[in-house]
Amino acid sequence: MSGFCVECEPLSIGDVSFGVTDVAMKFLNCFQGDVKSHTRSVTAPIRKIEDILSELIEIQEECSDDNWDDEGAVAISISAMFEAMQFIRLLPVHLKLPDIAPSANGAINFEWRKDDFICNVELSGINEIVYSAYFSKVNRDYGMKPYFGKIPNKVIELIESMS
Partner 1 sequence: MDIVSDDELTRFIRPKQKRYVTADGGVRTAAFSTGSDGKVSVFVTSDMLLNEIWDHGDAHFPHETIGRAYLQAQVVISEGLEIDFNNEPPKHADIIGFPSDKDLNLAKRQALAVKAKFEKR
Q: Which residues bind partner 1 (CB under 8 A)?
A: 59, 62, 66-74, 99-105, 107, 109, 111, 113, 116, 118, 120, 122, 128, 130-132, 134, 137, 140, 142-144
What does the alpha-carbon distance between residue 37 and residue 32 come to, in Å, rounded to a whole number? 9
Single-letter residue type at 104: A
Q: For residues 22 and 69, which CB has a smaller minimum distance to partner 1 in the complex?
A: 69
Q: For residues 8 and 144, which CB has a smaller minimum distance to partner 1 in the complex?
A: 144
Q: For residues 23 and 59, which CB has a smaller minimum distance to partner 1 in the complex?
A: 59
- Report yes or no: 163 and 114 within 8 Å, Cβ to Cβ: yes
Output the smallest distance, CB 26 to partner 1, in A.
25
Q: For residues 80 and 130, which CB has a smaller minimum distance to partner 1 in the complex?
A: 130
The residues near 59 (Cβ < 8 Å, ≥ 6 apart) are: 76, 81, 100, 101, 102, 108
- Assign 132 to helix, strand or coil: strand
Q: Which of 36, 34, 29, 24 is nearest to 8 (CA)?
A: 29
Q: For residues 102 and 125, which CB has a smaller minimum distance to partner 1 in the complex?
A: 102
What does the alpha-carbon distance between residue 110 and residue 47 come to, in Å, rounded to a whole number? 14
Write out the H or E segment, with its range, that includes residue 141: strand 139-146
Output the smallest distance, CB 160 to partner 1, in A.
18
Output the smallest distance, CB 93 to partner 1, in A.
22
- Report yes or no: 118 and 112 within 8 Å, Cβ to Cβ: yes
Output the smallest distance, CB 136 to partner 1, in A.
9
Output the smallest distance, CB 10 to partner 1, in A.
29
